Amino acid sequence: MSDLVLILFTGLGLGALYFLAASGLSLVYGLMGVLNFAHGAFMTAGAYAAWLTMRDLPQGWPVAPRLAVAVLVAVLVGAAVGLVVEVVLIRPLYRRHIQQVLVTVGLSLAGVAAAQGIWGSDPRPVEKPVWMAGTTRLLGATVPNDRFVYLLVALVVFRGPLALLHLTRLGLVIRAGVENRTMVEALGIDVRRTFTVVFAIGGAAAGLAGVLYAQYAGAVSPGQGGSLLIYAFIVVVIGGMGSLTGTALAAVAVGLVQQLANYYAASGVGDLSVVLLLALVLLLRPTSLKGAPA
Amino acid sequence: MTLDRPTDPPVLRLEDVHVRYGGSHVLQGISFDVASQGVTALLGRNGVGKTTTLRAILGLAPRTGRITLRGNPIQTMATHRVVRGGVGYVPEDREVFGGLTVEENLRLVDPERGVDAPVVAELFPDLVKRRGQRAGTLSGGQQQMVALARVLLRDNDLLLVDEPTKGLAPKLVTEVADVLAQVARRTPILLVEQNLPLVRRIADRVVVLDAGRVVHRGEAAALVTDADLTRELLGVSMRREGAA
């Protein structure tokens, strides 16, 4: 029983990270039709920005406030990178999907190479606040505290964009744009400005995912964003492009299936089971969990 | 019907407008004016470029040539600027946002008033009652009313209306025609329509396209009462058309 509780919390924590990584990707594709393969580079940029911030802040500070500042920096760096990439690289290529894929794939490769060139290929350890490195007894299981942090952050990130989508004019334009962006423009609304904002929001979510995944892994490395991106894509396809609720459900499902398979089958089977889950959803429900085209 | 005085400048002028999609030359140098009052109907058989003409005016199709709105060139403007400049668009198949409520569909255009705008209560009272209903669950006629209400929330110099009665029951066709007739008293309309009785009822002028070219311009009454000309230009007989 205690093993199951631990696995469930680990799966939920991992699912929370997948959701953070996938939410921006889903919004960007849903509204703009851009399959952003550079999203992993945004996560890496956030992770390294946070690592540098923690390293350069006064070491006399406790780890927790340094991490809090680092998270803020990672979010801002992610948003800034997203904004610049949209304005400089994506905007000239709207409706040219193959070129978009080539540019974003190229950017992701360049991002990894740049990180390797500057900081080397080896993983760089990151500091973890004492409480996050500790554990809590829950239903007989010893659950690492960082899982609760990931869950809490994912919940806030889930509620934040939902509130943005349903309570603000920007959200209304985004929801309409996900359905039919041409018609939004034909109503006199500058969709491109909305695209830039959404790309920046996606970048901010990626930056946040990057810094928290580095906490989960205990280190930053150049390829980290890329490996998280694979799961993010799977989550988005299962959950439905442009659907935050679908993305959240899919992220939880992927995290749980992966952890349960790793424990009850064999270590490493988790990744295979995630791919099988994807295949199963595509076969049984090709329009994805939320009914959006997968 | 109110015909312009000869000296009235047109609200919209197209001069030598071309649209090419890949290898296909859809509009081949069309030129015509839309009068500053009443309804100008854009007619022609299927696939001759009527919808493409509206999309070219809006900047939704890649166009060359010159397009002016009240004398100001708009052919290089982005779509949202053309619309904000005074061109309202009611597309073929309505294209309401099905996942949004009626209220949200209207607030996209008028964030302050939405369904509470006087024009909605005046012309579309049913929408006021359905403000919280998702637009995707409305009937075709109700969706058409949302699409029309959406553009009427803004002060327009011109409305582009693409086949507003397509797929509607006869009673709804009459309702849509009534609304268009009322709207045309205030705002000129360029109307793409296949329903000739509707054209006969509300249009003042016609422009007929064939294979991407203008082949006829004139008064609507003169075309729709001339069975031979109608058959020659549009391939239909007025005697077979139902009432609007």
Return d(Cα B199, Cα B177) in angstroms, integer: 9
Put simply, the answer to whether B97 touches A188 (Cβ < 8 Å) is: no
pLDDT on residue A287 = 65
| Average pLDDT score, chain B | 89
Per-residue pLDDT tens over the stretch B190-242: 999 988 888 989 999 999 999 999 999 999 988 888 888 888 888 765 544 44
pLDDT of res. A286: 66
Average pLDDT over every residue of A137-149: 83
Substitution target in A94, A182, A183, A244 with the highest count of B β-carbons within 10 Å is A183
Confidence of residue B243 (pLDDT cuts 50, 70, 90): very low
- B90 forms beta bridges with B161
Q: State the nearest Cα–Cα gap between A55 and chain B, in angstroms.
A: 46
> Is B231's Cβ below 8 Å from some Cβ in A?
no
Cβ proximity of A111 and A45 under 8 Å: yes
Which of A238, A242, A263 lies closest to A251, judged by CA?
A238
CB pairs under 8 A between A and B: 55
Terminal-to-terminal C-alpha distance of chain A? 36
Q: Are A207 and A45 in contact (CB under 8 A)?
A: yes
Contact check, Cβ <8 Å, A186/B91: yes
Residue in B97, B155, B160 to test binding to A, most A beta-carbons within 10 Å: B97
Distance from CA of A148 to the nearest CA of B (A): 34
Q: Nearest CA of chain B to the CA of A183: how many Å?
A: 7
What is residue B129's DSSP assignment?
A: H
Listed in order, strand segments (DSSP E) in chain B are: 12-21, 24-34, 39-43, 63-69, 72-73, 87-90, 158-162, 189-192, 205-210, 213-219
Residue type, B96: V
Q: Which of A179, A168, A188, A176 is CA-nearest to residue B109?
A: A188
Rounded CA gap, A115 and A106, in Å?
Answer: 14
B108 neighbourhood in chain A, CB within 8 Å:
172-173, 176, 184, 187, 189
Mean pLDDT across B86-96: 93
Q: Residue ranges per domain, chain B?
A: 12-94+157-235
**A176 vs chain B: nearest CA distance in angstroms?**
6
Asked if the Cβ–Cβ distance from B80 to A172 is below 8 Å, we say no
Q: Are B109 and A190 within 8 A, CB to CB?
A: no
Q: What is the average pLDDT across A60-79?
A: 93
3 state SS of B243: coil
Q: Is the CB of A189 less than 8 angstroms away from the CB of B80? A: yes
B192 secondary structure, DSSP code? E
State mean pLDDT over B71-100.
Answer: 94
Cβ pair B60:A191 closer than 8 A: no
The amino acid occupying position B34 is V
Least confident window among A46-50, A128-132, A139-143, B113-117:
A139-143
One-letter-per-residue 3-state SS of chain A: CHHHHHHHHHHHHHHHHHHHHHHHHHHHHHHHCCCCCCHHHHHHHHHHHHHHHHHHCCCCCCHHHHHHHHHHHHHHHHHHHHHHHHHHHHHHHCCCHHHHHHHHHHHHHHHHHHHHHHHCCCCEECCCCHHHHCEEEECCEEEEHHHHHHHHHHHHHHHHHHHHHHHCHHHHHHHHHHHHHHHHHCCCCCHHHHHHHHHHHHHHHHHHHHHHHHHHHCEECCCHHHHHHHHHHHHHHHHCCCCHHHHHHHHHHHHHHHHHHHHHCCCCHHHHHHHHHHHHHHHHCCCCCCCCCC
The angle that helices A2-32 and A39-56 make with each other, rounded to 10 degrees, is 120
Q: Which of A173, A176, A188 sits opposite B84 (nearest CB)?
A: A188
Inter-chain residue contact A179 with B98, CB threshold 8 Å: yes
A27-31, A271-275, B99-103: range with lowest mean pLDDT: A27-31
> What is the ipTM score, two decimals?
0.87
- Note whether A277 and A238 are within 8 A (CB): yes
CATH 3.40.50.300 fits B12-94+157-235, yes or no: yes
Task: Please name the residues in contact with B201: beta carbons below 8 A apart, sequence gap of 6 or more.
Answer: B177, B181, B244
Confidence (pTM): 0.78
Contact status of B108 with chain A (Cβ, < 8 Å) = yes
Chain B residues closer than 8 Å to A243 by CB: none
**B98 and A CB contact within 8 Å:** yes
Cα–chain center distance at A9:
19
Q: Which residue of A has its CA nearest to B88?
A: A187
**Based on the number of CB atoms within 10 Å of its own CB, is B2 exposed (0-12), middle (13-18) or buried (19 or more)?**
exposed
Q: Per-residue pLDDT for B150 more than 80?
A: yes
Mean pLDDT of B82-110: 94
- Pick from A220, A272, A233, A277: which is nearest to A254 by CA? A277
Whether residue B79 and residue A185 make contact (CB cut-off 8 A), yes or no, is yes
Residue B12's identity, in one-letter code, is L
Instruction: Identify the band that residue B244 occupies on the pLDDT scale cut at 50, 70 and 90.
Output: very low
Distance, CA of B237 to CA of B226 (rounded, Å)? 10
Most confident of A173-182, B43-52, B223-232: B43-52
Chain A positions with Cβ closer than 8 Å to B: 169, 172-173, 175-176, 179-180, 182-192
Q: Kind of pairing, strands B24-34 and B12-21?
A: antiparallel
- Name the percent of chain A lying above pLDDT 90: 38
Q: Is the separation of the CB atoms in B132 and A169 below 8 Å?
A: no
Which pLDDT does position A290 carry in this prediction? 58
Q: Which residues of B touch A172 (CB under 8 A)?
A: 100, 104, 107-108
Q: Is B226 exposed, middle or buried (0-12, 13-18, 19+ CB in 10 A)?
A: middle
Given an 8 Å threshold on Cβ–Cβ distance, is A176 in contact with B97? yes
Hey, is the C-beta of B91 within 8 angstroms of any chain A C-beta? yes
**Chain B nearest-CA residue for A191:** B80
